[in-house]
């Protein structure tokens, strides 16, 4: 589990490379910094308040109590997190691993989720505004949704209110971040010059590097969500590989057909779409279903991204088209293909004769999407007023975030360049 936590931690630097390669040269460090800084700030927030809000004693199905503030009582003993009260009705969330191990594993999810949002508002947000938004969003949006699904809240399996399935974060991570990204896109508006000016990826090799790190780390993301070295972890690991590979094909086939060439950026983006879509299903479906989910994710996300010019919004790095759309698709298909033959603690889906699970999945998707969209709009408005505008000035945007926000450049081809003197 600690190795899985390290794999998930490594996904955030992988995301930094993936996003960093997709932006223009003048914004590479600003984009990478947003992900790297999340590793720092969210870790501290998780220790102080985030973890206890997500996994403290359930309060009305909506939020955790302050039992574990500053990690009080989070030690080596397993089975310390309970839902459904205490006594005979109590259910231990992680009875087989140390409480501290569960905490640090979940910390890595809390870090990467808000970092995903940065791809939607790349190249135009003040770093000061980002820092405040990152902190508030982690506490007020991420932790409640994590509690609803994973910590005993009303959307998870624990109390049966909805009973939606989300093995590793389809709703908690991808739909949550994707909805926030949509709110930020609408609130902040388009980059200067978009779409008239070409804004091509400046470094495709580091895009592929980032995608490869994400794929690698996702085995900890999905496999580790079994919370043990067991057959369920193996199933989730295998399903992750199958779906991701299939999604690359699902993306490249229509791209090749439409444009006459398969692109490396398309292959990388398709892989991420497959990883997103299989996340909620990884520990609930058979391999044939993972194949279908992956192919569907590649195709559907490609089609949605290709329609972006018609929608007229500037989703810089396709967070909505991949994470929101892929997350929604994966969550609903989990309700179609889930089977107790893979995970006896879950539920059968539509294919196994239980159509009700599809409705539970749709409810969880809708609740998460609306909460994150509306909540993120409110936070963006608050931060906008606090810092005198979310966006950098027009001159700063033309100069680039690297120089305007961090006083350095990503690439120096002459002696004396590269930022502050040492």
d(CA 44, CA 39) in angstroms, rounded, equals 9
413 C-beta neighbours (distance < 10 Å), count:
7
Give residue 257's pLDDT: 97
418 domain-assigned: no
HEC assignment per residue over 372-393: HHHHHHHHHHHHHHHHCCCECC
The CATH number given to whatever domain includes residue 302 is 1.10.3430.10
Give residue 58's pLDDT: 86
420 domain-assigned: no
421 domain-assigned: no
The one-digit pLDDT tens for each residue of the chain (422 residues) are 999 999 999 999 999 999 999 999 999 999 999 999 999 999 999 999 999 999 998 898 899 999 899 999 899 888 655 555 555 555 667 888 999 999 999 999 999 999 999 999 999 999 999 999 999 999 999 999 999 999 888 887 655 456 899 999 999 999 999 999 999 999 999 999 998 888 999 999 999 999 999 999 999 999 999 999 999 999 999 999 999 999 999 999 999 999 999 999 999 999 999 999 999 999 999 999 999 999 999 999 999 999 988 888 899 999 999 999 999 999 999 999 999 999 998 999 999 999 999 999 999 999 999 999 999 999 999 999 999 999 999 999 999 999 999 999 999 876 555 555 44
Q: Residues of 318-338 as b/e, b for ≥16 C-beta within 10 angstroms?
A: bbbbbbbbbbbbbbbbbbbbb
Give residue 77's pLDDT: 85
414 domain-assigned: no
d(CA 410, CA 403) in angstroms, rounded, equals 9
Structural domain span for residue 8: 2-406
Domain count for the chain, please give it: 1
Token look-up 């089609």 returns 303
422 domain-assigned: no
Helices 143-150, 99-117: axis angle to 10 degrees equals 130
Give residue 419's pLDDT: 55
Cα Rg of the chain (Å, integer)? 21
Sign of the alpha-carbon dihedral angle for 149, 134, 3, 83: negative
417 domain-assigned: no
413 domain-assigned: no
Question: Are residues 1 and 228 in contact, defined by beta-carbon separation less than 8 angstroms?
Answer: yes
- Which residues does 356 contact at the CB level (< 8 Å), separation at least 6? none
17 domain-assigned: yes
pTM of the model: 0.95
Q: Which residues pair with 391 in a beta bridge?
A: 125
């Amino acid at each position: 589990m600690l190795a899985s936590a390290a794999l998930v931690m490594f996904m955030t630097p992988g995301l930094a490379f993936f996003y960093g390669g997709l932006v223009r040269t003048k914004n590479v460090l600003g984009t990478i910094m947003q992900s790297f800084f999340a590793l720092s700030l969210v870790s501290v927030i998780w220790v102080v308040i985030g973890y206890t809000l997500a996994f403290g004693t359930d309060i009305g199905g909506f939020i955790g109590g302050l039992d574990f503030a500053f990690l009080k009582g989070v030690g080596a003993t397993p089975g310390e997190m309970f839902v459904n009260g205490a006594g005979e009705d109590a259910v231990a969330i992680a009875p087989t691993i140390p409480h501290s191990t569960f905490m640090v594993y979940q910390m890595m999810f809390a870090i990467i989720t808000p970092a995903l949002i940065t791809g939607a508002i790349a190249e135009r947000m003040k770093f000061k505004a980002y820092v405040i938004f990152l902190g508030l969003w982690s506490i007020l949006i991420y932790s409640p949704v994590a509690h609803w699904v994973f910590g005993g809240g009303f959307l998870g399996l624990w109390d049966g209110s909805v009973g939606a399935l989300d093995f590793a974060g389809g709703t908690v991570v991808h739909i949550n971040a994707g909805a926030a990204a949509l709110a930020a896109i609408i609130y902040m508006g388009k980059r200067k010059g978009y779409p008239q000016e070409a804004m091509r990826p400046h470094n495709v090799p580091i895009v592929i590097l980032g995608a490869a790190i994400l794929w690698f780390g996702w085995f900890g993301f999905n496999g580790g969500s079994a919370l043990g070295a067991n057959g369920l972890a193996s199933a989730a690991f295998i399903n992750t590989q199958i779906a991701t590979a299939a999604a690359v094909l699902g993306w490249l086939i229509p791209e090749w057909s439409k444009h006459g060439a398969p692109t490396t950026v398309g292959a990388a983006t398709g892989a991420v779409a497959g990883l997103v879509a299989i996340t909620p299903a990884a520990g609930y479906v058979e391999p044939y279903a993972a194949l279908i989910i992956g192919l569907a994710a590649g195709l559907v996300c490609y089609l949605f991204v290709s329609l972006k010019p018609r929608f007229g919004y500037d989703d810089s790095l396709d967070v909505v088209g991949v994470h929101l759309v892929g997350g929604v698709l994966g969550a609903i298909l989990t309700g179609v293909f889930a089977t107790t033959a893979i995970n006896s603690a879950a539920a059968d889906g539509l294919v196994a004769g239980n159509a009700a699970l599809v409705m539970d999945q749709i409810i969880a998707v809708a609740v998460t999407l609306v909460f994150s969209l509306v909540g993120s709009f409110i936070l963006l408005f608050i931060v906008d007023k606090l810092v005198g505008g979310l966006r950098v000035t027009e001159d700063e945007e033309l100069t680039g975030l690297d120089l305007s926000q961090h006083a350095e450049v990503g690439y120096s081809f002459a002696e004396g360049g590269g930022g502050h003197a040492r």
